[in-house]
Amino acid sequence: MDLLDPVDDFYHQYCFLKKFFPSEDQKRWCYHKIGWEEIPSLQNHYDLILCMGIFYHHKNFVRLLETIYHQLNKKGILILETITIKYGKYPLFLLPKKRYAGSKGIWFIPNQQGVLYILHRLNFRNVEFHSERFHLDEMKGIFYLPSLKEMLRENKTIEGYPKPYRSFFSCSK
């Protein structure tokens, strides 16, 4: 099993959690401290890819999804978790000017229909929306980041954008 993530905190969580599994299982695990842009060209390699909470942080989300598509084997599955907004019945991608809910580095926020549209457009099959939820306490204030509760005013972000929902999708190659 290959695990990919460039963030030190997630690597340390992996190191901690693997202690609870038999050493025989651990022999098949390989953690790579790299981001999706650095994935080696292993086309048709993975059975399952989890793309959790990074989709909206990338300028070129189409390239991200194309890379994932090519990395999946013939029946591979993508689980996509991202923030979405509830707005309109047609595919929509909100492009915040500078910040969204006080955070920098968020390039776009799709609505549910926008995620479904782009997955279909990139030839994913069995595209499904599973759930969305809103939890005010989800994003706690840490260090320099304010809490979500501090960044909302009457169901909108402090910038005036629709509030974020955590949404879950799946699809296959």
Rounded to whole angstroms, the Cα distance separating 103 from 57 reads 10
Q: For residue range 79-120, what is the model confidence (pLDDT) as tens digits?
A: 999 999 998 889 999 999 998 888 888 899 999 999 999 999
Domain ranges of the chain: 1-34, 44-172
Four-CA torsion 40, 83, 48, 46, nearest 10 degrees: -10
CATH of the domain spanning 44-172: 3.40.50.150
Q: For residue range 117-139, what is the model confidence (pLDDT) as tens digits?
A: 999 999 999 999 999 887 655 55
